[in-house]
Structure formats: C-alpha cells, structure tokens
C-alpha cells in the first residue's frame, strides 16, 4: 500500500514552547490512523501543520511523496487534503446545501463573467453542482435537509454537514478533529460506523484526533500517542492498549480528566 502522508521530524514552536517535537509519522493510503494524547499534547497543532495553517519550524511533510510543508491552506486543499474542526465551523446562517456548495467552489470551471452573463455553461455547471451537493447530503444521511439553516440542524447533523462540505472538495486525505466531541454514546456509535464507512466506500485515508477510546480502538488501523509534543508510542489498537507508558500518560491517569473535558464541552 502506498504511503499517503509522511511527517519527518516535524517541529512547531510557539515562542519558547515546543508544541510539536520531532514527530515522525507514516500513514498508509486508505487507512484510518488516530492521533491521541492528553490535552495540550500537540495534536491539533500537528493537524494545523499538515493542512497548511502553520509552517513547521523544522522537518518535512510529504503527501504522496510531494513536500507540502509551508504551502498555503488553499494549495493543500486543492491537492486533496480536507479537514473538519474541533469546534464546528459551518456558515450557520446559510442552508445545509449552501454550506456544501461552498466546499465545491475550488472545482468550479465557470468564472464571474459566466455568472453575470448567465452563459449556458454557467447554468449547466450550476445544475451539476446542485446535483452533486444533494448527493453528498444524502451520502452523509442528511437527505431532504438541504434547505434547513445549518444552525437549526441537530448537533450530530451539523458534524455530518461539516464532513459533507469537506468531501465536496474531493479529498484523498481527510483530517477529522474530534468528530464525536459533545456527542452522547448513541450518537458517538453512529459517527464511529459512519467514519468507518467513509473509508470503505470512498477509499479515503483518514487521520483522526479523538478522545473517545471506544471510537479510537474500534476503527483505527494504527495509532500514535503524543504527550507534551512528542510521540511516546505507535502501534495497533491492541499494542497501544497494553503499552505501559501510554497507560501511565494517558489511558490510566488521564481518564478522569478526559471525562471531565467531555462534561465541560457538553455544558458549553
């Protein structure tokens, strides 16, 4: 299997703080790869380096063997890397279908002249785009909800809409930052199956930041554990669960802290 993403000795500093410290990852195409670790371990910062929000001070990031560190978010998105966020970032006053259409923007062929003059090409592309948008909403289980305002959708549906918008960019690599944050156990189980299905049906590579261990252990092919910016372990779910260092840093002593974090998020 080809390597979809590789990070080599990636480091990111904020002033004197080393948020990400010499991280090496090798992520196979079409795998589900989870990055776990306690609060402040550097997981989101690493995502931000991969998706172009930050340029790492050191190291390199290879996407299908092409160096991408330092490229803009737009360029990285255009070569097939899409992401969702820890705190849902939808256009809440727009409808569900409008949110998906925005995700399709980078692929449109018509320009503003076509739009003003209302060329045939413009109408034909508009129809195709709407059709594709509806297909994506159906795919994520939001059929018939296209005209609902994003802010009126239930929480779990908003998370799915964010994923539909990310898929509209035709990604090969999807970065999901805490997709089950704030969900109850039932919603979490549904999302877990959904993520699994995404990989199987769309042949995507998925990198997941996730605090819910049922999700992580249930769907990951491999897992990396970060702590204070460094990678302390890597392996299959079974290897990670029996790794003494991980239990001490995270799965053992950290459990209460994690539960508390969920509780706080639910109350927000």
Give the β-pairing of 173-177 and 205-209.
Answer: parallel
β-bridge partners, 235:
223
CB atoms near residue 161 (< 10 Å): 28
Which residues inside 65-94 make contact with ligand ATP, applying CB under 6 A? none
Which position among 4, 21, 27, 42 is part of the footprint of ligand ATP (CB under 6 A)?
Answer: 42
Candidates 42-50, 108-116, 185-193, 243-251; binding stretch for ligand ATP (CB under 6 A):
42-50
**Residue among 190, 140, 198, 148 at smallest CA distance from 165:** 140
Q: Binding residue for ligand ATP (CB under 6 A) from 4, 25, 31, 43?
A: 43
Place of tokens 């049906």: 201
Q: Is 259 in the site for ligand ATP (CB under 6 A)?
A: no
The only residue of 14, 91, 123, 155 in contact with ligand ATP, by rule CB under 6 A = 14
For ligand ATP, the closer CB: 197 or 252: 252
44 binds ligand ATP (CB under 6 A): yes
Q: Does 41 bind ligand ATP (CB under 6 A)?
A: yes
- Strand 58-63 and strand 66-67: pairing? antiparallel
How many beta carbons lie within 10 A of that of residue 214, not counting itself?
13
Give the interface with ligand ATP as residue ranges (CB under 6 A).
Answer: 14, 17, 19, 37, 39-45
């Amino acid at each position: 299997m080809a390597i979809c993403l590789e990070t080599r000795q990636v480091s990111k500093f904020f002033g004197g703080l080393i948020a990400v410290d010499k991280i090496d990852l090798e992520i196979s195409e079409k795998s589900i790869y989870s990055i776990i670790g306690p609060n402040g371990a550097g997981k989101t910062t690493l995502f931000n380096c991969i998706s172009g929000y930050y340029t790492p001070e050191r190291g390199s990031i290879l996407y299908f063997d092409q160096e991408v560190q330092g490229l803009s978010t737009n360029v990285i998105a255009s070569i097939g890397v899409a992401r969702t966020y820890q705190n849902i970032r939808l256009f809440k006053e727009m409808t569900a279908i409008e949110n998906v259409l925005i995700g399709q923007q980078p692929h449109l062929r018509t320009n503003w002249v076509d739009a003003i003059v209302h060329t045939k090409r413009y109408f034909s592309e508009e129809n195709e785009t709407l059709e594709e948008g509806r297909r994506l909403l159906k795919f994520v289980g939001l059929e018939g909800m296209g005209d609902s305002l994003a802010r009126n959708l239930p929480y779990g549906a908003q998370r799915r809409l964010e994923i539909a918008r990310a898929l509209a960019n035709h990604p090969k690599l999807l970065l999901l930052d805490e997709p089950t944050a704030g969900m109850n156990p039932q919603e979490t189980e549904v999302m877990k199956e959904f993520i699994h299905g995404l990989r199987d049906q769309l042949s995507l590579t998925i990198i997941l930041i996730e605090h819910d261990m049922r999700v992580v252990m249930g769907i990951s092919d491999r897992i990396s554990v970060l702590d204070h910016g460094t990678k302390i372990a890597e392996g299959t779910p079974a290897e990670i669960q029996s790794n003494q260092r991980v239990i001490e840093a995270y799965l053992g002593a950290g459990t209460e802290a994690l539960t508390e974090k969920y509780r706080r998020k639910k109350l927000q």
